[in-house]
C-alpha cells in the first residue's frame, strides 16, 4: 500500500503504513524541492517499527531538518512510544498522541 500524502494548511501529513516506510524518501524530497517544510508522519496504522524502519524514520527526520523543515510524529502505538523511550529518540523527535495535536503544533 502506498503512503497517503495530504496537504492541509501548509502542513504535509504522511499517513504511513508498515509496508511503505521505505517509499517515502522520494516524495519527501520532492515536497522539500517544492519549498514544503512542515511534515507530520502519522503512525496510526503502524503497530511496531523494526530497526530498519527506525533507520528510515531518522533518515527522513534528518533530511527534513537539514532543509530547515520540521517533522513531527503523530499517533504512535504504545510499543512505538516505548521504542522511542528505549532508544532515547524521545529526546530528538517531537511526538504527539494524535493528529490534531500534531497539526496544532504548527500554529
What is the per-residue pLDDT across 4-55, written as a single tens digit (0 to 9) for each?
A: 899 999 999 999 876 666 678 888 999 999 999 999 999 999 999 888 889 9
Rg of the chain over all Cα atoms, to the nearest angstrom? 13
**What range does the domain containing 72 cover?**
4-104
CA angle 18–22–26, rounded 5-degree value = 135
Tell me: the pLDDT tens digits for 95-106? Answer: 999 999 999 999
Look at the chain and report how many structural domains it folds into: 1
pTM as predicted: 0.92
pLDDT in tens, 75-97: 999 999 999 999 999 999 999 99
State how far Cα 81 lies from the chain centre.
13
Helix axes 51-66, 24-33, angle to 10 degrees: 10
List, in sequence order, every beta strand (DSSP E) within the chain. Answer: 4-8, 11-15, 38-42, 70-74, 94-96
CATH number of the domain residue 9 falls in: 3.30.750.24
Segment 55-79 mean pLDDT: 96
Environment class of 74 (CB within 10 Å of its CB; exposed 0-12, middle 13-18, buried 19+): buried
Amino acid at each position: 500500500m502506498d503512503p497517503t500524502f495530504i496537504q492541509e494548511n501548509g502542513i504535509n501529513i504522511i499517513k504511513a503504513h508498515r509496508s511503505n516506510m521505505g517509499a517515502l524518501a522520494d516524495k519527501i524530497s520532492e515536497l522539500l524541492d517544492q519549498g514544503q517544510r512542515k511534515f507530520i508522519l502519522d503512525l496510526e496504522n503502524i503497530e511496531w517499527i523494526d530497526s530498519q524502519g527506525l533507520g528510515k524514520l531518522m533518515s527522513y527526520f534528518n533530511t527534513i531538518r537539514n532543509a530547515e523543515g520540521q517533522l513531527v510524529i503523530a499517533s504512535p502505538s504504545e510499543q512505538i512510544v516505548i521504542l522511542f523511550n528505549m532508544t532515547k529518540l524521545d529526546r530528538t523527535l517531537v511526538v504527539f498522541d494524535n493528529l490534531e495535536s500534531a497539526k496544532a503544533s504548527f500554529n
